[in-house]
Structure 1
Amino acid sequence: MSRMLVDKEAIRALADILTDTGLTEIEVSEGDSRLRVARNVTVQAAAAPVASAPAAAPAPVADEAVAPADLSSHPGAVPSPMVGVAYLTPDPSSPPFVQEGGQVAAGQTIMLIEAMKTFNQIKAPRAGKLVRYCVASGDPVEFGAVLAIIE
């Protein structure tokens, strides 16, 4: 039985390269091994929001909605267990595993993440209502990125 060894230092080094260069994806191959690191990129409409960021800080005090930056602290957040590409459907011609607003059971598949040509099922950690997907099909995701909100 063979066991795949993951070089955590290599992953961290590649992630640092992504951050330093502004790239969204990097892949290295050596022999039969391949390592791909990708990150989600949020596009801002203009440079003006950056200048007004300090003024926008008081806005999260409101209890009405959770801002996208605060999704990781949401109690219903479903974090990505790996780096890969998210898919909300089992195949391109099928409907999503779960529609936004739909009920899910604990352990029910809510999406797939493709990592190293393997499709990994992402299961609901708890029963509830899938309030929102935080990624779209085909989006690259990072480890720990919020994939969905289940309340």
Structure 2
Amino acid sequence: MAKNRLDEITAMMEWSAGQGLAAVTYAQGDFRMKISRGAPVAITATSPVNTAQRAAAAKPAAGVAAPLAGICHLSPAPGAPPFVAPGDRVVPGQTLCLLEAMKVMTAVVAEYAGQVSRIAVTDGAAVTAGDLLIEVTP
């Protein structure tokens, strides 16, 4: 990895930590990397070759897991409609729920397009990192 790219990633990680963000994604050209904190470290880097091979070999997982421990909020405010409900179609980047940890709200977003098949938690439930929140089938 070029030193310049590494400097950019390091600066972005420091900025995101200062902002209280739970994850940061870096993308440049065909290179994409997502780093999460507050949960076991997960670093993923892809290239056009291995992305095509992986897409042919496996379907994306149907479960959306909590990236960190906190209180799960299924709607943006008390009394407001939920972000999603079973049967809803979702697109990548769409907010599925919020996790509140130490008075910081972290949006949990859809990684891929699909249909919500099940909400696995109740509004206001305490969750730990890795708990199943929502099932989205591609």
Shorter-chain TM-score bucket reads: 0.5 to 0.7
1:75 deviates by 2.5
**1:128 match:** 114
**Larger-gyration structure (1/2):** 1
Distance 2:118 2:83 in 1: 13
TM-score, with normalisation over the residues of structure 1?
0.51
**CA deviation string 1:24-80 (max 9, x = no partner):** xxxxxxxxxxxxxxxxxxxxxxxxxxxxxxxxxxxxxxxxxxxxxxxxxx9301111
Overall identity of the aligned pairs, in %: 35
**1:138 match:** 124
TM-score, with normalisation over the residues of structure 2?
0.56
Distance 1:99 1:78 in 2: 14
1:103 deviates by 0.4
Are 2:83 and 1:83 aligned? no
1:99 deviates by 1.5
Q: Which runs of 5+ in 1 are unaligned?
A: 5-73
Are 2:89 and 1:103 aligned? yes
Q: Which runs of 5+ in 2 are unaligned?
A: 1-13, 19-59
Aligned partner letter, 2:95: T
Bigger strand share: 2
Q: Which runs of 4+ in 1 moved over 2 A?
A: 1-4
- Give the RMSD, CA atoms, in angstroms: 1.9
Matched residue pairs, number? 82
**2:42 match:** none
Distance 1:149 1:116 in 2: 26
